[in-house]
Amino acid sequence: MTAVKSDLPQGTLDLLILKIIALGPVHGYAIAQRLQQVSRDVVQVPQGSLYPALHRLENRGLLAADWKQTETGREAKFYHLTRKGRAELETEAASWQRLTEAVGLILEMAEGGAQ
């Protein structure tokens, strides 16, 4: 386990979930795994809290799900993005980009001023 853990800012879990699902139909466990792997264990969410988020997104019509067989032959609920979900991902990702750029700019400026 890494020593540094970060709490996710409000609302970013939805964005991360949408992004992971955008790569292809995937079940809840795989989302949790990928979240941890890709973020190199920086992002620590109790895996269970993924599910309320998934169900909320499904309820808002951003995700759709169907039951399919995994490679091991078990039935799992696979999520995929709806058209509405894809649009949501694009706008959310863009606004996240803008926000981080702005924050980064401010931080760099502060450094420059100090030197």
Residues in contact with other proteins by CB under 8 A are 27-29, 32, 46-49, 51-53, 55-56, 59, 67, 72, 74-77
Task: Report, in Å, the least distance between residue 46 CB and other proteins.
Answer: 4
Taking the least distance from each CB to other proteins, the nearer of 48 and 113 is 48
Taking the least distance from each CB to other proteins, the nearer of 78 and 81 is 78
Taking the least distance from each CB to other proteins, the nearer of 56 and 84 is 56
Strand 63-69 to 26-27 pairing: unpaired
Angle (nearest 5°) at CA 101 between 38 and 61 = 60
| Three-class DSSP category at 110 | helix
* Crossing angle of helices 12-22 and 28-38, rounded to 10°: 110
